[in-house]
Amino acid sequence: MQSSNTLTEGPIAKKLILFAIPMFLGNLFQQLYNTADSLIVGNFLGSTSLAAVTSTGSLIFLIVGFFNGTAMGAGVVISRFFGAKDYDKVRKAIHTDLAFGLVCGGIMTIVGVVFAPQILALMGTPDEVFAQAVWYIRIYFLGSIPFVLYNVCMGILQAVGDSRHPLYYLIISSIVNIVLDILFNGVLRLGVAYAALATILSQTLSVVLCMRRLMITQDIYQVHIQEIRFDPQIIKQIIQIGLPSGLQNSIISIANVVVQSNINAFGSDAMAGCGSYSKIEGFGFLPITCFAMALTTFIGQNLGARQYARAKKGALFGVLCSITVAELIGILIYFFIPQLVVLFNSEPQVVAYGVLQAKTVGRFYFLLAFSHCAAGILRGAGKSTIPMFVMLGCWCIIRISYITIITHFIPKIVVIFWAYPLTWTLSSIIFLAFLLKGDWLYAYEKKEKVQITGE
């Protein structure tokens, strides 16, 4: 069996864009999926309930991000085997990835349900929102297995060049999530825990659809339930590439938890306003994430196929597209942020906090886009430790140090907001140096030469 989803042939721009567009639309619906809770809770249950939902975002990503980042290593491994047309290893990698996802989902359930109250307390979550936040996050993490499995299945399909079917399933699950949110909290007013329940049910539907696709396809990536097991050599490769990505996500999340803790000190209005902005900001990040993910697959397939010049051209094109679109979206958010925050909550102080954060960071999205795309390129080349250390230094150590020191002397929330563009600038400079050096690309050529000549 052969697949027509390869990114190693055809016009680079056309291939990348056609691959990235469904991912962009998929991320759009994923963001709508995540934003529906906040929109409906904020409008029907009030600012305190909105603060309870939005303040858990950094904690959720702390736990989810580690396991999903680690699972990304499987996508790189699969895309390399796929590019090299080693279809036997593609099948082994896919089934190992699914086994890994099941284990990760189980661990995530235990960690999220058991330790959520302690972590929320460490974050300084105010008493008036604490109980609701605990309920929300515990219900949310009861759905960890379908959440992780969906991302694993989506990663498998994207690794072999299929970004369309994950889009279809996200559209369906997003509609279901919004309908359930409206029913549970817009009509029945059941509370924030039911917003999390709506997410679980819709996420379960999406993973059922994804697994069905993988099981009925006649292509080389068909899944057989009885073959889901760990292959020792492949799980080692997945962990070697994926663990740094998981740690990278956790590093970012730890820094964001510290940022959220500092925001919490300004009260529930600040939490609701900044939480509303974070949902809006998520839409600005869509081109960033879709191009970064597309570049990881594109680089992995083309380096696996020894198409080095094509990999370099694709990297340049993807970066330029991402930073251009991201900055345009950032400018739009900058000018229309008051009207956007009001969609979540119309209380003047809540709106004021959201507007202040957007006005501070909205002009610098191009820096975030560059950093994420550079990380995606390096990850696709198997050099996932570089993004991990860059993020550790810039987005964790320096960001936390800056906030801790500067807020001690200038106790204003705008000081916290400036932590983002400052650390994005530093990471972009470092990533640019790595990309210009070219080791991510030429290491493959050198390795190939050694294998051929024995030098």
pLDDT along the chain (455 residues), means of 10: 66 87 77 72 80 72 72 79 87 92 89 87 82 89 89 85 84 89 88 88 92 91 93 88 78 78 88 87 82 87 86 92 91 93 88 94 94 91 87 90 92 94 96 85 56 42
Q: What is the pLDDT of residue 371?
A: 95
Beta carbons of 6 and 82 less than 8 angstroms apart: yes
The identity of residue 281, as a single letter, is E
72-88: burial string, b at 16+ Cβ within 10 Å, e else: bbbbbbbbbbbbbeebe
Give residue 338's pLDDT. 94
Instruction: Report the pLDDT value the prediction gives residue 451, as an integer from 0 to 100.
Output: 45
Q: Considering only CA atoms, which of 329, 260, 255, 251 is closest in space to residue 289? A: 329
Residue with tokens 């959720």: 60
Report which DSSP code applies to 65: H
Determine the pLDDT at residue 447: 54
User: Against a cut of 0.85, is the pTM above it?
Assistant: no
pLDDT for the residue 323:
92
pLDDT of residue 455: 46
User: Using an 8 Å Cβ cutoff, are 350 and 341 in contact?
Assistant: yes
| Cα–Cα distance, 82 to 243 (Å, whole number) | 21
Amino acid making up residue 149: L
pLDDT in the model for residue 454: 43
Pairwise CA distance, residues 235 & 93, whole Å: 8
CA distance 448 to 146: 40
Rounded to 5 degrees, φ, ψ at 171 are -60, -45
Nearest in space to 370 (alpha carbons), one of 309, 436, 283: 436
**What three-state secondary structure class fits 344?**
coil
Cβ neighbours around 432 below 10 Å, total: 14
What gap in Å lies between CA 370 and CA 3, rounded to an integer? 31
Q: How far is residue 318's CA from residue 416's CA, in Å, rounded to a whole number? A: 31
Q: Give the C-alpha separation, 116 to 193, whole Å.
A: 14
